[in-house]
Structure 1
Amino acid sequence: MAQRSDLTDNTNSRTTVLLMAYECSPAGGSELSVGWNRVMQAAREFEVHVITSPKSFEALTMARQSGLLPDHVHFYTPQPDWLLPLLQKLPVLFVYNYLAYQHFQRLAFNLAQQLHGQHGFAAVHQVNGTGFREPGYTWKMDIPFIWGPTGGTQNFPAAFLSYLPWREALKESLRTIVNQISLRFKPRVHQAAARASVVFAANSTNQRDFEESFGRPIELLLETGLPRLAAATSMSKYDGETPLRILWVGELATRKALPLLLRALASVKDELAFELQVLGKGPQEQSWKELAASLGIERHCTFSGHLALADAIAQQDWAHVFVFTSLRDTSGNVMLEALGAGVPVVCFDHQGAGDIVTSECGVKIAVVDPETAVHDFAAVLMELAGDRKRLRQLSHGARRRAIGYEWTANGDRMNRLYRELAAGEAEACAVPAEVGGILA
């Protein structure tokens, strides 16, 4: 048995697809937003059935009641058995409690098979969680299987581990080890990759890692996107007279590495007039506020806490420059939001950030070591503050770059794949199950 949306079955001629979207809600960012937008893009052309978590089931129920969800989107969540509540009491590892999450995927697979018997899906798509370590089980079904875009192979740069508290450094080191073991030796990861009609990687680091491990072509597609952009309003706001307004957005957690920016700004505080606004909450909030005070820049820094998504996006209109210091991220949706507002981005040249930002819309710095990073962030900000023409060019380039990341473009590519698979036109690109020495 399972909870399901209160809808009649499909009576039209739309092709029917199944999306496995563990997190899916119109009222959140990150994975929740990925699930929701993937569903809404598919619903432009297809009859969509969605299996999701109990929490997201509630969010989709509210979306249905509010008129946000089309009638041809059907959603379900499996009824928990006696084991799932026990597993859910275990501690979280990295992002999810993986034992509980894996067991949920088993229950979801059983439900998917039941629904396939009733509706005859043309394809099944494992949408999220986007981490590669848990591919679910729907690759076992006798229909085309799409996996991703998925990520998670990117690791914290080893040269920066000494910059972390020892517990955080240990955690990142263990995560790197788990990643390597899972990528090379976890049977279901290799079985899912071998069975998939198409595997999408969320960034070029993931693409490289998957191709090396799975021995097959991997498509590149960012897992997230932007809503359709409104016409540009005020861009290139910096006049060279007022302080340079710098925006930083993210979880206040060690991997986001805000102290690199704080130290960079402290090193030029007598030469550069600036204002820094920090949006987000997290375990490092108090210590990072104290760091700003100890560096003598607290009066230039505003920690605004967590804002609603719409309010956080609105803050982009305040900024002259967006700085993304994260040392480990699949993509970085906040960078897309900055680009959409015409705000140039300064970031590290690696992982998703390295893919998204080009010389047209921002400045990337090399991943070398903490001291070099502090120096380079400071130098770039000084340079931009002294070159209004370049800042203006980057601002216009940011808008141009953002258009390519609208959800409609992302959805068009995935919907084309659904159509090809449904018509039996997609090239069979699954490789033998023995890939990587892992047997099905």
Structure 2
Amino acid sequence: MTTSPRRIRPLIIAEAANPTLTSAALVGWSCAKAIAAQTDAHIVTEWRNRDDFLRAGMVEGTDFTAINNRRLQHLSWSLATKFSRKGSFSWSLYAVLSNLVYPFFERKLWQTFGPRLRAGEFDLVHRLLPLSPTTASWIAPRLKKIGVPFVLGPLNGGVPWPQGFDDLRQQERDGAGRLRAFYRFSPGLKQTRESAHAILTASRTTLHEMPAHLRSRCIFMPENAVDLEKFPLTPKAPAVTDPSKLLRISFVGRLVALKGVDMLIAAAAPLIRSGALHLDIIGDGPERERLQAMAQSENITSGVCMDGWIPHAQLGARLRESDLFVFPSIREFGGGVVLEAMALGIPAVVLDHGGPPELVPPGTGYVLPMTTREDIVTRLRQLLTELREDPSQLHTAGELAQAHVRKFYSWDAKAVQIHEVYRWVLGHRAAKPDWGTPMGFASQIVDSEESMQPMPQPLLIPDHGF
């Protein structure tokens, strides 16, 4: 009689993970929870997340441990809030301050788990959060010393500002971002990377920042995925084909200057005025009043919905009313909302900069070149006009987008990918997992059985510029 192999026992560090928040906190929670379903994981988070973990059904001591580093975490958040521009929180400044206080969290973690790691209670340690590639790990060299494998990432950040948008950088007051050039001198960062058995890089920007001799340890894996309970992969009805009906497009995100919503309004305005298109802007922020004034000056208020945020649980139903999702952000690390639209069968339009274009393979949507503001508006208007005249291609693109999400970007798929990384660092598989860079773009991928399988070539529709 054969026995089934023992499940892998990772200790997952997810300091900011929280099921009730958004952005990195929700990514950390969703990913850690999915990994825990595949393994015998134990999650370590910060004390401020404890009550939300408990309300989500996690058992303290068995499923997770909360480390109390609240005083320093609160200090970094308060200072970042104080020195941020009113109405626009400086995430770059917060990243700098968080890097200064994070080592204290890991020191407390080591006090609790160091003896258990030496005793072999865990097979490996996976630092899932922070996402920042500039955050050193105080425990990484200690894990190397006691022979416990260390997995780092997904790491993302450091997307440069595109040329020609210096005014927006000044508007965002991203002075702290200029300090990032000095991160290479951060104490312990070199040791952190050298001690890692696997480094998950969530973007090509982060991958290219890694020293050449560490590339063999790097695996491309964007941090985002989709909650299929909120964004189910059910077939979407074909887009409008009757010329008398509206083409409905949408945007979701913070209403700040770098999201490019003003370019979207300018591009769509002639079509909205003619009654051919409706624009749904979902979100809020310091730009909302200016964008509303812009819609009024363009005489298109009747064709633009801009009524603020809606609960994330309701977003899927609202997005499903759209035929096309447009996300013209000029500087975006991840772009999880792009995947959420794709999961609903809605093709996306993004700019070729940062994380979003790495989520949209040819045939699943549209990637416009990152050029000047005027050129982006012109290209986007041409694309919207073309799709209004021939919307039939949207249905094919939406089906391919859903297939891409199903294969690579559900949280279950993400957990399977990470499980294969664990198997690799533990010596349970010989070949390093590789799903292409960006994921799914390669002509071939390595599946979980380590055999080479050809990737089906997607149907091509007008894509990636003009």
> What's 2:369 paired with?
366
Alignment CA distance shift 1:14-1:403 (3 Å):
closer
SS at match of 1:47: coil
> What's 1:49 paired with?
42
Shift of 1:87: 4.9
> What's 1:31 paired with?
24
Aligned CA-pair RMSD: 2.8
> What's 1:309 paired with?
312
Q: Identity percentage over the alignment?
A: 23
Cα deviation, 1:232-265, whole Å, max 9, x if unaligned, reads 2432231332111111001111221111101111
Alignment CA distance shift 1:400-1:85 (3 Å):
closer
> What's 1:235 paired with?
237
1:268-307 maps to which residues of 2 (within 5 A)?
Answer: 268-271=271-274, 273-307=276-310
Question: Which amino acid is the alignment partner of residue 180 of structure 1?
Answer: A
> 1:146 and 2:151 equivalent?
yes
Cα deviation, 1:166-187, whole Å, max 9, x if unaligned, reads 432xx24x355223222x3334
| Equivalent-residue separation in structure 1 for 2:71 and 2:319 (angstroms) | 47
| Equivalent-residue separation in structure 2 for 1:356 and 1:252 (angstroms) | 22
> 1:325 and 2:328 equivalent?
yes
Question: Which amino acid is the alignment partner of residue 234 of structure 2?
Answer: A
How many residues are treated as equivalent by the alignment? Answer: 409
Shift of 1:37: 1.9
Question: Which amino acid is the alignment partner of residue 80 of structure 2?
Answer: P
| Equivalent-residue separation in structure 1 for 2:380 and 2:338 (angstroms) | 16
Cα deviation, 1:314-364, whole Å, max 9, x if unaligned, reads 212100100011111122111111111111111112222111112311111
Question: Which amino acid is the alignment partner of residue 367 of structure 2?
Answer: K
1:123-272 maps to which residues of 2 (within 5 A)?
Answer: 123-142=124-143, 143-162=148-167, 164=168, 166-168=170-172, 171-172=173-174, 174-182=175-183, 184-211=184-211, 217-228=217-228, 230=232, 232-240=234-242, 241-271=244-274
| Equivalent-residue separation in structure 2 for 1:165 and 1:189 (angstroms) | 27
Alignment CA distance shift 1:256-1:412 (3 Å):
same
Paired residues of 1:106 and 1:136 also in contact (CA < 8 A)? no
Paired residues of 2:153 and 2:199 also in contact (CA < 8 A)? yes
- Of residues 373, 391, 410 in structure 1, which corresponds to 2:414? 410
Paired residues of 1:190 and 1:214 also in contact (CA < 8 A)? no
Higher relative contact order (CA 8 A, sep 6+): 1
| Equivalent-residue separation in structure 2 for 1:311 and 1:302 (angstroms) | 16
| Equivalent-residue separation in structure 2 for 1:374 and 1:196 (angstroms) | 44
Question: Which amino acid is the alignment partner of residue 238 of structure 1?
Answer: V
Paired residues of 1:42 and 1:415 also in contact (CA < 8 A)? yes
Shift of 1:210: 2.5
- Of residues 335, 340, 344 in structure 2, which corresponds to 1:337? 340
Shift of 1:136: 3.3
- Of residues 56, 62, 66 in structure 1, which corresponds to 2:55? 62
Listed as ranges, the gaps of 5+ residues in structure 1 are 1-11, 429-440
Shift of 1:299: 1.9
SS at match of 1:304: coil
Alignment CA distance shift 1:72-1:287 (3 Å):
same
Alignment CA distance shift 1:150-1:82 (3 Å):
closer
| Equivalent-residue separation in structure 2 for 1:78 and 1:340 (angstroms) | 35
Listed as ranges, the gaps of 5+ residues in structure 2 are 82-89, 433-466
Shift of 1:267: 4.6
